[in-house]
A and B are shown apart, each in its own frame.
Chain A
Amino acid sequence: MIYSELKIFEEILKITKEENLLLLACNGCAEVCKVSDDKSISEIEEKLKTNGKKIKRIIKIDFMCNKNLIVRKLSRFINDFSDNFGILVFSCGIGVQCVSNVIEKPIYPATNTIYLGGFQGLWPGEERCAECGMCYLGITGGICPITFCTKQLINGPCGGTNNGKCEIDSEKDCGWALIYEKLKRIEKLEILKEYQEPRNYKLCEPTGKIRKKIFYDVDKNEEL
């Protein structure tokens, strides 16, 4: 299980640049954390509408970390949408990356994936989420700058990128080269020009409340 929380609405509004949105909700862990249950989704839907957004569809996917499920659900109509169109994803950071991996459209996380002290879920694919607590996938074309850039940079690449590879390992893709390519393909390069404030490392310590709320309690409740 990966734990996520909804971003504050102002941030969701700021990162979703397009007028027409598809809301994509995960029925897995994210639903358990109440970020993608019907109530949360319809609240956000209403607020988006009041702010001039058009909600084209709301789709639920059993597990957003299953790329096949995403493709199966979306392939039929995704190409009907092109102009001024983006996807707002209600899932953990892995789910958002999976959507971005299979759909070449602007993709935005509606959530932040919260640090649980090293507990990572059971994801076998190449996407990684370090639970940074302030998900950046909306400004990077859905490629995680925290886990794909060796220096965890958020304002663009360092000077070390060489032929698309990272300065520390000529076989490791430079995360920022990938981000650049992706943003270029989806015609969103201008996002890179926005200044990103330094990260908030306070979020890298799970609060007592979260420690209790997530799995510590589950442990205790299961009696032999």
Chain B
Amino acid sequence: MEISKLQKKLNEGKFVITSEIGPGKGTNLEFLKEADELKDKVDAINVTDLQSSVMRLGSLATCHLLIERGFEPIFQITCRDRNRLALQSDLLSAYVLGIRNVLCLTGDHPILGDHPESKPVFDLDSVSLLKVASMLMEGKDMKGNQLDGSPHFFLGAVVSPGYEPLELQIIKMEKKIEAGAKFFQTQAVYDLKKFEEFMKKVEKYKVPILGGIVLLKSAGMAKYMNENVAGVSVPDRYIEMMAKAKKEDRVKVSLQIGAELIKGMKGMCQGVHIMPLGWDKYVPELLSLSNLI
């Protein structure tokens, strides 16, 4: 049985790097080239599951294609559009297709996507999905029926260090750990001090945490996130840096900010999770600025 390399590296206490790709809307596989930029530079790549509730190519198939190309994927699976039958079945399918890392999420509401009229499912939630995946690993489905051959996964979940009230977020994190989460990726972090306080609070759980990095593309994007993205607050200093940068320097400044955050996180958590949102080609430079390659 092949085990997750991500798990192995975290077990060895090494700082890990994960990144993320989003499949396209249609059968065109051009987007896989984004992943090629990351070859041998990151430990694993998340594949988003109908990100922002927009109908697209699936995460499961894309993870499989990544494995064929020599990458280690992290299969993101949400409860938005599959009931407990489909979720369990997809987890089994993932395993036979070679997928070892699974990130369990509740998922965005379909109203936020391009099919707002669709029926929201949410039969399970992130916590019960983790629990069900753990049961499958023990050779039983969620009703206790015996499986003929069981999967082995490295189960992950997400946590939002900037969430208010943080206490509530930590209660949920604790539930996820009890349900089987073995690693966490975080929402985008811009405030290292706040992140450090968060890390101190959750240290006791001894679960590896990968700090989230989203590269700022402009001052406008930062302001938009501050207003609309839960748990994200970009400090004014970064917004000013982005606003002042000339158009041709923006990437440079953005990478500087990203590298500053990654370097800061290095002593605090067990890895970083970089969400490039299309800027995959800059990830290698970001990593080298951060002294990670």
On whether the beta carbons of B168 and A167 are closer than 8 Å, the reply is: no
Q: What is the minimal beta-carbon distance from B275 to any residue of chain A, in angstroms?
A: 14
Tell whether, in the assembled complex, residue A195 and residue B168 are in contact, meaning their CB atoms are under 8 Å apart: no
Quick check: which of B42-50, B61-69, B117-125, B244-252 contacts chain A, the rest being far away? B117-125
Chain B neighbourhood of A180, CB < 8 A: 165, 168
Q: Which residue of A lies closest to B187 (CB)?
A: A159
Interface residues of B in 187-226 (CB under 8 A from A): 187
Given contacts A151-B122, A198-B124, contact A189 B167 (CB under 8 A): yes
**CB-based nearest A residue for B111:** A168
Contact between chains at B122 and A193 (CB < 8 Å): no
Closest Cβ–Cβ distance, residue A176 to chain B (whole Å): 7
CB distance from A161 to the nearest CB of B (A): 6
On whether the beta carbons of B128 and A176 are closer than 8 Å, the reply is no
Question: How many A-B pairs fall under 8 Å by CB?
Answer: 79
Interface size class of A (residues with CB under 8 A): 20 to 34
B160 touches A198 (CB 8 A): no
Residues in B whose Cβ lies below 8 Å from that of A167: 108-109, 112, 230
Closest to A161 in B: B230
Q: Does B175 contact A (CB under 8 A)?
A: yes
Contact present for A157 and B168 (CB under 8 Å):
yes
Q: Please report the C-alpha to C-alpha distance between residue A150 and residue B229 in the assembled complex, in whole angstroms.
A: 18
- A158: CB under 8 A from chain B? yes
Whether B127 and A155, one on each chain, are in contact in the complex, defined by CB atoms closer than 8 angstroms, is yes
Given the complex, which residues of B lie within 8 Å of A163, measured CB to CB? 164
A38, chain B: closest CB distance, angstroms: 40
| Interface residues in B161-199 (C-beta closer than 8 Å to A) | 163-165, 167-168, 171-172, 174-175, 178-179, 187
Q: Is the CB of A159 within 8 A of B231?
A: yes
Q: Are A168 and B109 in contact (CB under 8 A)?
A: yes
Q: Which of B84, B123, B158, B175 interacts with A195 by CB under 8 Å?
A: B175
Tell me the bound Cα distance from A167 to B125 in angstroms: 16
- Given the contacts A151-B120, A167-B108, A195 and B127 also touching, CB distance less than 8 Å: yes
Is there an interface contact between B171 and A153, defined as CB atoms closer than 8 Å?
no
Give the shortest distance, in Å, between B152 (CB) and chain A (any CB).
Answer: 23
- Asked if B175 and A156 make an inter-chain contact with CB atoms under 8 angstroms apart, the answer reads yes
Q: Which of B84, B107, B124, B172 contacts A157 (CB 8 A)?
A: B172
A155-B122 in contact (CB<8A): no
A117 at the interface (CB under 8 A from B): no
B145 on the A face (CB < 8 A): no
User: Could you tell me if A162 and B228 are in contact, using CB atoms closer than 8 angstroms?
Assistant: yes
Interchain CB contact under 8 A, B230 and A198 = no
- B175 near A155 with CB under 8 A, answer yes
Residue of A nearest to B116 (CB): A168
A195 & B179 in contact (Cβ 8 Å cutoff): yes
Nearest neighbor of A167 in chain B, beta-carbon distance? B109
Contact partner of B230 (CB less than 8 A), chosen from A154, A156, A162, is A162
For chain B, which range describes its interface: under 10, 10 to 19, 20 to 34, or 35 or more residues? 35 or more
Complex CA–CA separation, A92 to B230 (angstroms): 35
Q: Which of B109, B128, B172, B178 has a CB less than 8 Å from the CB of A150? A: B109
A77 at the binding interface (Cβ < 8 Å): no
Provide the residues of chain B in CB contact with A155, threshold 8 Å. Answer: 125-128, 172, 175
Whether B123 lies near A156 (C-beta < 8 A) is no
Cβ distance B141 to chain A, nearest Cβ, rounded Å: 12
Closest to B80 in A: A151
- Does A160 have its Cβ within 8 Å of any Cβ on chain B? yes
Query: A193 near B175 (CB under 8 angstroms)?
Result: yes
Q: Does B142 contact A (CB under 8 A)?
A: yes
Q: Which residue of A lies closest to B83 (CB)?
A: A201
In the complex formed, the residue of A with least CB distance to B171 is: A192
Q: What residues on B are CB-neighbors of A189 within 8 Å?
A: 167, 171
What CA separation (Å) do A176 and B167 show in the bound complex? 13
> In the bound complex, how far is the Cα of B122 from the Cα of A154, in angstroms?
10
Residue ID in chain A nearest B158 by CB atoms: A159
- Is A197 in contact with chain B by the CB < 8 A criterion? yes
Which A residue sits closest to B164, measured CB to CB?
A163
Q: Which residue of chain B lies nearest to A179 when distances are taken between CB atoms in the complex?
A: B168
Kindly provide the distance from the CB of A195 to the nearest chain B CB, expressed in whole angstroms: 6
In the complex, are the beta carbons of B112 and A168 less than 8 A apart?
yes
Cα of A198 to Cα of B106 in the assembled complex, Å:
13
Interface pairs (24), CB distance under 8 Å: A150-B120, A151-B120, A151-B122, A151-B125, A153-B106, A155-B175, A156-B127, A156-B175, A158-B125, A159-B160, A159-B163, A159-B230, A160-B108, A160-B109, A162-B228, A167-B108, A167-B112, A167-B230, A168-B112, A176-B168, A195-B127, A195-B128, A195-B131, A195-B179
Known: A154-B125, A168-B111, A193-B171. 9 other contacts (CB 8 A): A153-B106, A155-B126, A157-B168, A159-B187, A162-B230, A195-B175, A195-B179, A198-B128, A198-B142
Q: Which 3 A-B pairs have the closest CB atoms?
A: A155-B127, A162-B230, A156-B172
